Amino acid sequence: MSAESISVQTEDPKVNYLNVKHGIKSWLLTMDHKRIAILYLWAIMVMFLFGGVLAMLMRLELLGPGADFMKARTYNELFTLHGAIMIFMFIIPSVPAILGNFALPLEIGARDVAFPRLNLASWYLYMTGSILAVWAILHGSVDTGWTFYTPYSTKTSGAVILMVFAIFILGFSSIFTGLNFIATIHKLRAPGMTWYKMPLFVWGLYATAIIQVLATPVLGITLVLLILERAFGIGIFDPSMGGDPVLFQHFFWFYSHPAVYIMILPGMGIISELVATFSHRKIFGYKAIAFSSVAIAFLSFGVWGHHMFVSGQSQYATMIFSFLTFLVAIPSGIKMFNWVSTMYKGAITFETPMLFTLSFFFTFAIGGLTGIFLGATAVDVHVTDTYFVVAHFHYVMMGGTIMAFFGGIYYWWPKIWGRMYNEIWGKMSAMLIFLGFNLTFFPMFIMGSQGMPRRYFTYPAKYQIYHVMSTVGSWVLALGLVIMAVVLIYAIKWGPKAGKNPWGALTLEWMIDSPPPPHNFEKVPKVEYGPYDHDKILVKPDKVGVGV
Amino acid sequence: MAEQPGFLQHHFSDVRQQQETAKLGMWIFLLTEILLFGGLFAFYTFYRAWHPEMFYNAHEHLNVVIGTANTLVLIASSVTVALAINAIQHGRRKQTMLFLATTITLAGVFLVLKGIEYAEHFRLGQYPGKFYSYTGVEGTNPHIFFSVYYTMTGLHGIHVLVGMCVLSWMLYRTWRNHFSAEYYTPIELTGLYWHLVDIIWIFLFPLLYLVG
């Protein structure tokens, strides 16, 4: 972009990144991080809808014991597709690729991410991988579960190779996003934006990017070996040929356990922003929160063995992995206590993003604490492969990351589109999602502790009461999600105009117009105060729909 | 603003920042490459510890002469790519093109030699995994060694091939006058990548050919 075109665009204050250019080509070839964020937004939300519908179908099948309306193989394909979509195509990219892409350069006062072309390329990789993966399952009926455990994944019929290749491509999309973010954070901060003046969302993304870059290549090579195993029978995962199937599990979890921190860390970053903004108080323990993110990132590499307590690893390994797993609880606990301390004596207001934040505290606390149960070897052996694990995982992922993601979506929505959503309906959706979520997943803890195994399409009649509760909960949850979708989409077109700063937040993205101008900052900002200095600076939130 | 050179992208404040960012990005990418191969080295370690005698017996069937020659070829190509960067830093376009072309040729020589090796293995039936039919190696499951060997050298070979493509692209861009003593970052980054490809071979060669 030449210097002249920048000055032309910024002369007219009404020009923003949404209306600066029109047409499908201006979107598909865009290098603007904000537009790429929106490309990701639609693509990822379509995948979320798809994965959600599959979950609803599974819950419907589980309403009664026995085969109701699908065969066992169909059910196996459904949970494979649900898991793969939600993990690889929804949660992993959700926060970094949508909200990170949009907010990261704005929050550090940069005009774009470090490598805009790579950013667009990673979106195309995402699209290619997603389409291939969905096609592989729908057409090639993969039923391995999202973990692709050998030897089943090398023996079963179905398009496993295509599916695994798709995940390999998605991995590169994730690596490139992480690489871009690390370079952006290191090199593109505005003058005065020191490391300790960075918003905590940026710290969260930084820790995430470290894991994306360090762990994902290992998944890549594991998947390549799985493809070779299936295509050429190289035998390294096949015990009859001198190979070791447990080795696959080690390599798979060496990525996939850190991957759950790829999912949760950016969510924790969002929560840090929201809790300070809506408590109108300086964040408590900034450095503790920032470094606990980095600590989680590093500890995450030492805990993969806790997925394999019953897979036949040595007892010493199990003891060490159990101990390291308990260690991860410390930085997570540090964060929780700091967030709660931030709220203490704050002037808390309960807008929709704050409701999601409070939901996060509640559900993530349950998810995190049950994680400690599972890290204890004796308990884990009892509940391995039961609904207890399913419930724990969904409390951390859906109750943690997705609650934070939804809160973040509501929070940045006025900045993204320049329009405000309807607060009453927004709150309604938040409450329905919270209720529906707990009703869906809490019964799973109970039936899991009583021995209900996961991944079965049928069950003994004594579990039916819990399954019925769970299925009804999934309807409430779905209703909440539909309302949320309507509220947000309605706001894009018909919402009242939002000012620069509808929340009274202090981070840089709220100092510029909504929606932001094409190059974010007309002049590179000079940062003089911290992102949460609510004790020093009083910002009045802009009145929505007035004077803009 | 008017004095900014054409190669400076809008979101950087100066050339230095752009160059440093690009280099950092490349180093991070190289890190991911090391981890990609790191997985394979871990597999190598694991299976070598599991079948030490078979690994020793099998490695004697690799052609150390060609392996050594290939090592020298790759080290030479590392020198020429470094000379290419040095040449463009001084604005010597023709010399840059010459060195880049030499590097590409050496990479081609490497792949041809590797192909000759593969062909010899295939002739003897030393295929990977379940296609393995050779009987001259003592020990259990000798196909595992060849599976590891083909995966490691194969992935490395793909990297050499990609390197050749990128080097050719750099050659084309140098010919089209895209680079100068002020702006040569893409060639420098290609050089970094090429050195990594060489270094990986420098680890593969002793592990596979010499110590088995």
Task: Please indicate whether, in this complex, the C-beta atoms of B37 and A221 are within 8 angstroms of each other.
Answer: yes
Under 8 Å CB-to-CB from A277, ≥6 apart: which residues?
A353, A411, A503, A504, A505, A506
pTM: 0.93
Residue A243 has pLDDT above 80, yes or no: yes
What are the φ/ψ torsions at residue A419 (nearest 5 degrees)? -130, 150
Residue A11 has pLDDT above 70, yes or no: no
Residue A294 has pLDDT above 80, yes or no: yes
Residue A212: helix, strand or coil by DSSP?
Answer: helix
B148 in reach of chain A (CB within 8 A)? yes
A85, A173, A233, A504: which is closest to B129 by C-alpha?
A233
Share of chain B residues as helix, strand and coil, in percent rounded to the nearest 5: 80, 0, 20
Q: What is the pLDDT of residue B59?
A: 92
Q: What is the mean pLDDT of chain A?
A: 92
Q: What is the pLDDT of residue A545?
A: 60
Q: Give the count of Cβ contacts less than 8 A between chain A and B.
A: 129
Q: What is the pLDDT of residue B212?
A: 66
User: In the predicted model, what is the mean pLDDT of residues A377-392?
Assistant: 94
Q: What is the pLDDT of residue A1?
A: 36
How many Cα atoms occupy the beta-carbon half-sphere of A284 within 13 Å?
A: 15
- Going A285 to A287 to A291 to A293, the CA torsion angle's sign is positive
Q: What is the pLDDT of residue A68?
A: 83
Residue A339 has pLDDT above 80, yes or no: yes
Residue A10 has pLDDT above 50, yes or no: no
Top-confidence range, A227-241, A422-436, B130-144: A422-436
Both tokens assigned to A156: 């079963």
DSSP assignment string, A378-414: HHHHHHTTBHHHHHHHHHHIIIIIIHHHHHHHHHHHH
Residue A12 has pLDDT above 60, yes or no: no
The domains found in chain B, sorted by start residue, are 16-210 (1.20.120.80)
Among A38-52, A381-395, B118-132, which stretch is predicted with the lowest mean pLDDT?
Answer: B118-132
Q: Which CATH superfamily is domain A38-511 in?
A: Cytochrome c oxidase-like, subunit I domain (1.20.210.10)
User: Confidence band (pLDDT; 50, 70, 90) for A238?
Assistant: confident
Closest residue to A242, CB basis, from B39, B42, B140: B140
Residue A27 has pLDDT above 90, yes or no: yes
Report ipTM (2 d.p.): 0.92
Share of chain A above pLDDT 70, in %: 97
Residue A6 has pLDDT above 90, yes or no: no
pLDDT tens digits, residue range A65-111?
Answer: 988 889 998 999 999 999 999 999 999 999 999 999 999 999 999 99
Distance CA A240, CA A532 (A): 60
Residue A346 is which amino acid?
G
Question: A interface mutation test: which of B15, B35, B44 has the most A CBs within 10 A?
Answer: B35
Orientation of helix B142-175 relative to helix A200-232, angle to 10°: 120
User: In the predicted model, what is the mean pLDDT of residues A142-166?
Assistant: 90
pLDDT tens digits, residue range A214-226?
Answer: 999 999 999 999 9
DSSP assignment string, A491-531: HHHHSPBP-S-TT---SGGGGS-SSPPTTS-SS-----S-T
Q: How far is B95 from chain A (nearest CA, A)?
A: 30
Q: What is the pLDDT of residue B2?
A: 43
Distance CA A258, CA A299 (A): 9
User: Confidence band (pLDDT; 50, 70, 90) for A13?
Assistant: low
User: Confidence band (pLDDT; 50, 70, 90) for A522?
Assistant: confident
User: In the predicted model, what is the mean pLDDT of residues A259-264?
Assistant: 94
Q: Are A200 and A108 in contact (CB under 8 A)?
A: no
Distance CA A47, CA A49 (A): 5
Among A240-254, A430-444, B104-118, B161-175, which stretch is predicted with the lowest mean pLDDT?
Answer: A240-254
User: In the predicted model, what is the mean pLDDT of residues A8-32?
Assistant: 81
On chain A, the residues whose CB falls within 8 A of the CB of B20 are: 187
Among A470-479, A534-543, B17-26, which stretch is predicted with the lowest mean pLDDT?
Answer: A534-543
Distance CA A534, CA A278 (A): 11
pLDDT tens digits, residue range A479-520?
Answer: 999 999 999 999 999 999 998 999 999 999 999 998 999 999
pLDDT tens digits, residue range A181-197?
Answer: 999 999 999 999 999 99
Residue A138 is which amino acid?
L
Distance CA B91, CA B187 (A): 13
User: Confidence band (pLDDT; 50, 70, 90) for A548?
Assistant: very low
Q: What is the pLDDT of residue A351?
A: 95
Task: Please indicate whether, in this complex, the C-beta atoms of B143 and A235 are within 8 angstroms of each other.
Answer: yes
Q: Are B146 and B132 in contact (CB under 8 A)?
A: yes
- Going B104 to B107 to B112 to B118, the CA torsion angle's sign is negative
Task: Please indicate whether, in this complex, the C-beta atoms of B28 and A6 are within 8 angstroms of each other.
Answer: no
Q: How far is B25 from chain A (nearest CA, A)?
A: 6
pLDDT tens digits, residue range B1-41?
Answer: 445 688 888 888 888 999 999 999 999 999 999 999 999 99
On chain B, the residues whose CB falls within 8 A of the CB of A227 are: none
User: In the predicted model, what is the mean pLDDT of residues A473-483?
Assistant: 97
On chain B, the residues whose CB falls within 8 A of the CB of A224 are: 151, 155
Q: What is the pLDDT of residue A9?
A: 43
